[in-house]
Every structure is written in C-alpha cells, then in structure tokens.
C-alpha cells in the first residue's frame, strides 16, 4: 500500500477553474438549495447542462459519447459539484458506477445503447444489490434468473433501492445458476425499471423523503442481450463496480457545505477560539483526505486497482463526515429545522437526519475494515 | 521526487544501526555514537544544505525523506536538528557548518538567552541533544530584528533533561560565551524556525506511525488467542485499520508539506501536517497499544520506542491545538468563499 503525493497539472487546474465558473453562473449562491454531497437533489435539466459541457461520463470513451478524460479529471469535476451542493442526483449513479461498469464489461451493443445517453445526462440508474436477507453478505442474494426464450425470467426482491421511482434502469445482481462456490453462478442484468412484472414500493425514509424503495421482480423478462458481461461472472464484476464507487470525494464531502455555510452565517463564532479550533481541525483533515483520494484517482489512471487504498479512504472519510457534523453541533446553540429561514440550519437539520447513512451506504465501515485489514502490510 | 536509491540506502543504514538494543542504550547513555558515525559517513545530517557552505547538497525533499525514515527507526540522533534546523539557520546566515552534530535552540517560554556586548548569555531550555552536539545555533532578538548566533556547546554548562521518550532535551547555560553572530537574512525568524521544526516533527511522526502500523499488523497476525490470530477479530481489525489510515494520511500530509516548503510558502501545509500528526499521536498510538495488550507496555518490545516518541514529538514545535487554531483563524479570516479553494490550493490560496 502506498499513496504517492500528487499535484494537479496546469490543465487540471484549468478544468477546476472552468467548473467553478460554470457553477457560479449556473447555480449562483443563494439561487438554489444546496444539498449534502451525493445526497443532493435531482435536477435532470442541470444534469443535461453539465453533460453539455462534457462533464457527465467524461472518463468514458469518446466513441460512446464520453470525453476520454482521466479519473483525475473526473475527480476535479466531481469534488467541485459536491462541495457546491449541486443537484447531482439524476446522473450520479450512472456517472460514478453504472457507466464505467457497462464500459468495462458490457457488449458492444450495450455500450452503444447505454453510454451515449448516460453521457448526455439523460439516462439514470439505480443499484440493484441489496435484498431483505442480503446486505453486507452480498453473495447470499436470493433473486434468481431462470432460462426463458432468448433470455431470463427474474424473480426476487431488491431493497434500499434509491431513486427506483424516478430512474430508468438498474443493474441487478442475481443468481443464474447453483454452484458449489457461492461466488460463482451470479450475474449482473441490466433491467428496465419500467418492465412488466416490476413493482416499486416506496419505503419512507426517516426524514419523510421517499427516494428509498423496495423493488419486487415477478417474472420480469430480461433478454440475453441485457446480461451485463458474462453470465456467471457477476461477483467479480460487482466487486469491481464497488471499487469504482469507493475512495472518491463523495466519501468525505457530505457535510462540507454545512461548515461552509456555518462560516458564512456565523463568521464571528468561526473566528472565535473554539471556532478556529474546529476549522483548523476539519480543514487539516479535508486537506489530507483529499490528497489521499486524489492519489487513488492517479493510481486508477495508471491502470492500477487500488482496492485497499480506496477502502481505507472510504472508511476514514465517511466517519469524518459524521465527526464534522458533531463538531459543528457542539459549537452552535440552536434547534435546527428543515423549515428554518437560515440555510445553515436547514443543512444542519438534513445532516443530523441523514448522517448515519454515510457509514452504511456502499458497504458498511465494518465490512470495509475486514476487507482492508486482510491487505495491510506488516 | 526523491531518488529511490537514497531511500533504500537510508532504510538499510537505519535498520542496521538503530537496533532495539542501540535505541535502549542511547536512552541510557544519552548518545548513540555508532548511529551518528554511520549516518555522518553517508552525509545524511547535511542533506539539503548547499555544498558551497559545507553541506551534502540535495533538496529539502531528500532531507525530508531521510528524516521520515529516521523517525520510523526511532533514530536516537539529532538528524533533523542538524539538517533542517541548526544547519539551516547557519547556512542561511552564511556561517560555517560544524562537522559534528549540531542542534538548535527551539525557543521556549522561559528562555533567557540573549546578546550582550558581542557575547551570548542566558538559559536555553529543552535543547535537543544539547549536551552532545558540537555547535548550537540560536535565533536571538537584536533591536527590531533577529540575529543568528552559533556557539560551541563546550562553552555552556549543561543541565541534562529528557523528553518522554528519553531523548536528551538539555538546558544550556551560557555566560558571556563567544559566538559567531550574523544578522538573520529576510525570511529567517522564529516563525520560520517553528515551521521547519513542525515540518521535521511531522515527518518523523509519519515514519513512526508507519512503523507502528506495520509492527501492530505483524504482532496481531502472530499472537493467537481462542485458537486463531487476534488479527482475525473484527474488534482488533478496527485498530489495525485505524493505525494504517493515520499513518497514510500523516505521511501524505508531511510529504506534501515538504514539497510545498521546497517551492515556497508552506504554512498551510505544515500546519495541516502537524495537526494530523498530533491527532494521530493520540488515536493511532492508543489503537496500537490496545492491539498489543500488555506486551506493548514493556521495554523489551519496540512499540514503546515509537509511541513515546509520538507523544513527545506531538508537543514539540507547536502541538496540534496550537497549529489548528492558527490554521483555523486563517480559514475564518479568508471566509466561506475561499474555504474550499484553500483545501485544494493550500498556501497558494490562503496565508496562514
């Protein structure tokens, strides 16, 4: 394990300046409701405007509508979007993981069908991994696909599926054959969320929102051409997909906007003794985490597979997102409300209610520790 | 980037000389002549100091790499003091470099060291290896400015002291001692010295944290309880992962700070590195000791060489709270719109 220090090149810094100018123009402060990192709201029009600049699916090949940009370029764009609180919800999963996994494992026809629409900011994806009896132990999924004419019939239940109501497709991990090794016989299917036999049931979230869903698949027909990659290779593909979503700025910026807005609205308190200590601590750790996370993106660009490094960053980053919130809470004497006239208090309210999810989504910190501990060097 | 050959050589030399027994003996005797002789022959204590003033040449990044590696081996010698602090002050002032070990007056509340009639008098507290160095270099007030003063340690009376790791931190008392005295050039003042001191300690702490992480992984994979290595227990894995994370983030921050210092202003980066290192000295050391159980509390096992140094170095050249408050005041003054740009741009964006 080694995180090499790295700096942005002149071209990468120019891209950063472009993104900042775009955000100031497109989403001026005070002109929109910022969200908490990747938990921000969805706005298809914003996703399309971003895509028009070439910043959705930008690391995908140009022949499929991408821009052939690097993982570091995508890092530069994404960190600015997240820290701005931009409404990334519509394209987020497609950009971060569905697009890359289709590009990596998909057939030529699948790439031509899905990637250009992802890169236009149109096509949105959900994740079809978790099930009622299958969370951290993902190889135990019970959703099954059985052979049908030129395709598969899928039966089972997926759960905690964010955005299933609004999104277009999801990638379903399911069992396509029984094997002695339970990591074999799994496949990933591209499933239209508007398929016959597919039912989306909302699961009200603790904050009253309704992006969380159960998806019931009842003899949903999936043609052979929508099997992603090789049947039976779903576990390896899925593991690689998880690696894509780990270690990026979305794992340490969820509560950034809370601090920035606190500084904006409570400048006096921030300049005080306790405020300065808080700011110094969180700025130092953001600085360090960002350097580690950027170093992971460089490794990806060199063709390395930094699974251990990504797991370490995600575990540390998501815990820090929660710590940041607690530090702010210890400093402000108020009762936050989602209906407050103060943006800071609205963000604080949202952060209190959603913070527990930071260390759960995309792999719990306990699982990350088990994965990481095995790879550590003596 | 530092030459891999230099890094490999440094690792070999420190591994060969800084054995457990050598570090134990140095704590008892206050000096490790074999370690010093070996690294002096390699020129390590004078890396980053120009050859024209008697140094070994090389970049600050090279010196940083060697100092970080030395921290991992608990090297009981004033390497940072000679290369990055005392030697730096002397070379900046154009003063001749001592051939032997040099040290620096870190500057403590209670110091009374000062100029009087072309000589130096007063007390300098907690001088690293103050009694064993040949030269001691100090920044002293002179009118509205500062002078660099270089004295022979032999001219001082020494009141021995140590830090929590048993490293010498002596009080030197001078009475009208002869000194080479030169006005401090621009950019050489107590704040610049404190920055370099903090950078040196952050680098040493990065090395110590990395070694501590590896030691803990190794120990918990060998130590068996309930029929299996304790490293397989989730509760222990939490300690292992935390130690590795803190080693990684402090190493990254310290290396980035050294690179920034090579370029120019690096106060933001040094502050961030010392804050992260200090916090790691608390939490990662606690995790490492917990994973080691009672074995880690003994002198015979090497964890204490690292943990006691981390606790000591955390407090030297400004602790994490001091640097955090300074960084935070600068961030508050820069304001909300510059908060993220400073996290991406550091000292290029914000003056700390």
Please, what are the averages of pLDDT over each run of 10 residues along chain A (378 residues)?
93 98 96 96 97 98 98 97 98 96 96 98 97 92 96 98 96 95 95 98 93 97 96 89 81 98 96 97 98 95 91 97 97 95 98 97 92 93
Contact A276 B324 (CB under 8 A): yes
What pLDDT is recorded for position A244? 63
| Strands in chain A per DSSP E | 125-128, 144-148, 151-159, 169-175, 186-192, 198-202, 213-223, 227-228
Nearest chain B residue to A258 by CA distance is: B336
* Domains along the sequence of chain B with CATH: 4-183 (2.40.110.10), 190-348 (1.20.140.10)
User: Looking at residue B129, what DSSP letter applies?
Assistant: T
Residues of A in contact with B249 (CB under 8 A): 285, 288-289, 291-292, 316
Question: For the whole prediction, is pTM greater than 0.90?
Answer: yes
Least confident stretch, A178-182, B33-37, B181-185:
A178-182
CA distance A347 to chain B (A): 15
What pLDDT is recorded for position A146? 97
- Quote the mean pLDDT of chain B: 96
pLDDT in tens, B192-202: 999 999 999 99
B102-104 vs A144-148, strand pairing mode? unpaired
Cα B208 to Cα A9, B45, B67, B92, B304: the distances in Å are: 31, 19, 11, 29, 11
A40 in Cβ contact with A87 (< 8 Å):
yes
For tokens 């914003």, name the residue.
Answer: A46
pLDDT in tens, B288-337: 999 999 999 999 999 999 999 999 999 999 999 999 999 999 999 999 99
Residues of A in contact with B268 (CB under 8 A): 287
pLDDT in tens, B54-100: 888 889 999 999 999 999 999 999 999 999 999 999 999 999 877 89
Provide the 10 A C-beta neighbour count for residue B5: 8
What pLDDT is recorded for position A243? 72
Interface test with A, best of B231, B261, B272, B326 (most A CBs within 10 A): B272
At A365, which helix (H) or strand (E)?
helix A365-375
Calculate ∠ Cα A364-A369-A373, nearest 5°: 160
| Strands in A244-374 per DSSP E | none
pLDDT in tens, B243-297: 999 999 999 999 999 999 999 999 999 999 999 999 999 999 999 999 999 999 9
Smallest Cα–Cα separation from A98: which of A163, A184, A185, A180?
A: A163
What pLDDT is recorded for position B1? 55
What pLDDT is recorded for position B121? 97
Smallest Cα–Cα separation from B105: which of B129, B133, B137, B152?
A: B137
Nearest chain B residue to A312 by CA distance is: B245
Interface of B with A in 231-250 (CB under 8 A): 231, 234, 237-238, 240-241, 244-245, 248-250
Q: List the structure tokens of A359.
A: 């260390």
Contact B252 A288 (CB under 8 A): yes
What pLDDT is recorded for position B47? 93
For tokens 């775009």, name the residue.
Answer: A22
ipTM of the complex: 0.96
Interface test with B, best of A37, A288, A310 (most B CBs within 10 A): A288
């Amino acid at each position: 394990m080694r995180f090499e220090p790295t700096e942005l090149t002149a071209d990468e810094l120019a891209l950063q300046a472009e993104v900042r100018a775009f955000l100031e123009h497109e989403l001026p402060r005070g002109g929109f409701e910022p969200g908490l990192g990747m938990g921000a709201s969805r706005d298809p029009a914003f996703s399309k405007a971003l895509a028009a600049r070439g910043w959705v699916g930008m690391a995908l090949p140009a022949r499929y509508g991408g821009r052939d940009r690097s993982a570091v370029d995508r890092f530069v764009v994404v960190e600015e979007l997240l820290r701005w609180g931009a409404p990334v919800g519509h394209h987020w999963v497609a950009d971060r993981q569905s697009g890359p996994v289709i590009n990596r494992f998909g057939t030529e026809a699948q790439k031509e069908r899905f990637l250009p629409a992802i890169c236009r900011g149109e096509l949105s994806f959900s994740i079809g991994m978790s099930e009622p009896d299958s969370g951290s132990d993902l190889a135990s999924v019970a959703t099954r696909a059985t052979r049908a004419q030129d395709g598969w019939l899928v039966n089972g239940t997926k759960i905690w599926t964010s955005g299933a109501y609004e999104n277009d497709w999801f990638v379903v991990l399911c069992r396509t054959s029984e094997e002695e090794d339970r990591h074999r016989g799994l496949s990933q299917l591209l499933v239209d969320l508007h398929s016959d036999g597919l039912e989306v049931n909302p699961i009200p979230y603790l904050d009253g929102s309704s992006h969380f869903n159960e998806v019931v698949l009842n003899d949903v027909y999936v043609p052979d051409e929508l099997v992603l990659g090789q049947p039976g290779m779903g576990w390896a593909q899925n593991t690689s997909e998880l690696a894509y979503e780990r270690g990026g700025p979305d794992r340490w910026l969820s509560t950034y906007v809370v601090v920035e807005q606190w500084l904006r609205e409570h400048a006096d308190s921030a300049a005080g003794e306790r405020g300065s200590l808080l700011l110094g601590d969180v700025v130092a750790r953001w600085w360090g985490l960002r350097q580690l996370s950027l170093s992971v993106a460089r490794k990806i660009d060199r063709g390395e597979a930094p699974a251990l490094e990504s797991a370490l960053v995600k575990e540390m980053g998501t815990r820090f997102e929660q710590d940041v919130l607690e530090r702010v809470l210890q400093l402000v004497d108020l009762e936050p409300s989602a209906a407050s006239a103060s943006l800071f208090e609205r963000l604080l309210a949202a952060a209190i209610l959603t913070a527990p999810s930071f260390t759960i989504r995309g792999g719990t910190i306990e699982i990350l520790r088990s994965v990481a501990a095995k790879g550590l060097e003596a | 980037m530092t030459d891999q050959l230099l890094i490999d050589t440094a690792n070999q030399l420190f591994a060969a000389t800084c054995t457990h027994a050598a570090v134990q003996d140095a704590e008892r005797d206050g000096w490790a002549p074999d370690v010093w002789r070996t690294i002096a022959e390699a020129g390590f204590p004078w890396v980053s100091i120009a050859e024209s003033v008697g140094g070994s040449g090389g970049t600050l990044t090279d010196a940083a790499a060697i100092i970080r590696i030395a921290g991992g081996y608990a090297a009981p010698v004033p390497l940072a003091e000679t290369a990055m602090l005392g030697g730096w002050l002397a070379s900046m002032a154009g003063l001749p470099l001592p051939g032997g070990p040099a040290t620096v007056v870190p500057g403590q509340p209670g110091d009374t060291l000062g100029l009087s009639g072309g000589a130096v008098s007063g007390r300098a507290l907690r001088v690293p290896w103050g009694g064993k160095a040949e030269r001691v270099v100090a920044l002293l007030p002179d009118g509205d400015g500062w002078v660099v003063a270089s004295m022979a340690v032999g001219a001082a009376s020494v009141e021995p002291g140590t830090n929590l790791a048993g490293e010498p931190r002596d009080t030197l008392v001078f009475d009208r001692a002869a000194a080479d005295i030169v006005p401090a050039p621009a950019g050489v003042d107590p704040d610049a010295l404190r920055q370099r001191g903090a950078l040196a300690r952050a680098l040493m702490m990065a090395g110590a944290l990395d070694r501590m992480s590896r030691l803990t992984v190794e120990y918990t994979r060998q130590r068996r309880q309930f029929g299996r290595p304790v490293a397989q227990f989730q509760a222990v894995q939490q300690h292992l992962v935390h130690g590795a994370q803190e080693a990684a983030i402090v190493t990254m921050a310290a290396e980035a700070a050294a690179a920034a210092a090579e370029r120019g202003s690096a106060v933001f980066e040094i502050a961030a590195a010392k804050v992260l290192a200090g916090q790691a000295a608390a939490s990662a050391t606690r995790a490492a000791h917990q994973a080691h159980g009672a074995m880690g509390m003994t002198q015979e096992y090497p964890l204490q060489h690292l943990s006691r140094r981390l606790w000591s170095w955390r407090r030297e050249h400004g602790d994490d709270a001091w640097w955090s408050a300074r960084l935070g005041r600068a961030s508050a003054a820069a304001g909300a719109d510059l908060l993220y740009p400073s996290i991406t741009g550091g000292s290029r964006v914000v003056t700390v």
